[in-house]
């Protein structure tokens, strides 16, 4: 039986989407409202949820038939926060956004959550929460999701956080994007979505 490293060399990832946010070639949402801001600037894709009570998302739909065997990686910096709101990745949804998944962290640097939920968070179909997980928000945060052999692997800054079978997560569509609770602002520096194989991802540092 081949080990994973050998198998990855024989069957490397194909890049589906790669964005360093120097322009809007991939058609991300741009907005400047009383409730949210989304713009591409020198610091990347800058997002802010100025709403008082609702979470916001900023997303796209890569041109793939499914998210099977994908690797999703992004590099995020926290710009501001008011309270313990969360930020992170969402995936697995369609245009209706009826069900989706999220991989998020507290904007105060303590707490990690992974959920499959309806967009109003009622009901929640699967939940993982670690209130003691810490990240240093003075540095960029690198998030990674990988689907392999029907399991999702969740990593932050190369550290494995959680593993769960794909049956626990929404797979209604190929939507990928960013989640922000009220009062949170972030800059997304890089995003890459690729399919099958590579155990060693491209550098987001």
Q: pTM of the predicted model, to two decimals?
A: 0.88
Check if the beta carbon of residue 194 is closer than 8 Å to that of residue 70. Answer: yes
Distance CA 135, CA 133 (A): 7
Q: What is the DSSP string of 111-134?
A: EEEEEEEETTS-SEEEEEEEEEEE
Q: Considering only CA atoms, which of 186, 187, 183 is closest in space to residue 54?
A: 183
Give the DSSP letter string of 4-64.
HHHHHHHSPPEEEEEE--SS-TT----EE-SSEEEEEETTEEEEEE--SS--EEEEE--S-
How far is CA 133 from each of CA 67, 110, 172, 181, rounded to the nearest angstrom? 27, 6, 29, 18
d(C-alpha 88, C-alpha 66), whole Å: 21
- In 3D, which of 118, 109, 60 has the Cα closest to residue 87? 109
Give, as one character, the DSSP assignment of residue 97.
-
Could you list the pLDDT tens digit for every one of the 205 residues in the chain?
344 454 445 457 889 999 999 999 999 999 999 999 999 999 999 999 999 989 999 999 988 888 999 999 999 999 999 888 999 999 999 999 989 999 999 999 999 999 999 987 778 999 999 999 999 999 999 999 999 999 999 999 999 999 999 999 999 999 999 999 999 999 999 999 999 854 444 445 5
């Amino acid at each position: 039986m081949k080990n994973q490293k050998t198998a990855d060399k024989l069957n490397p990832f194909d890049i589906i989407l790669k964005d360093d946010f120097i322009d809007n070639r991939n058609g991300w949402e741009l907005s400047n409202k009383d409730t949210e801001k989304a713009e591409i600037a020198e610091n990347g894709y800058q997002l802010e949820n100025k709403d008082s009570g609702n979470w916001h998302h900023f997303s796209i739909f890569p041109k793939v038939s499914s998210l099977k065997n994908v690797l999703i990686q992004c590099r995020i910096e926290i710009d501001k926060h008011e309270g313990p709101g969360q930020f992170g990745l969402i995936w697995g949804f369609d245009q209706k956004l009826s069900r989706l998944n999220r991989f998020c962290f507290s904007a105060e640097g303590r707490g990690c959550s992974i959920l499959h939920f309806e967009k109003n968070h009622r009901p929640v179909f699967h939940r993982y929460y670690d209130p003691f997980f810490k990240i240093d928000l003075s540095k960029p945060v690198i998030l990674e999701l990988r689907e392999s052999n029907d399991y999702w692997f969740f990593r932050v800054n190369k550290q494995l956080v959680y593993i769960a079978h794909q049956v626990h997560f929404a797979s209604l569509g190929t939507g990928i994007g960013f989640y922000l609770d009220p009062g949170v602002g972030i800059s997304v520096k890089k995003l890459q979505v690729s399919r099958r194989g590579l155990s060693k991802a491209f550098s987001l540092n």
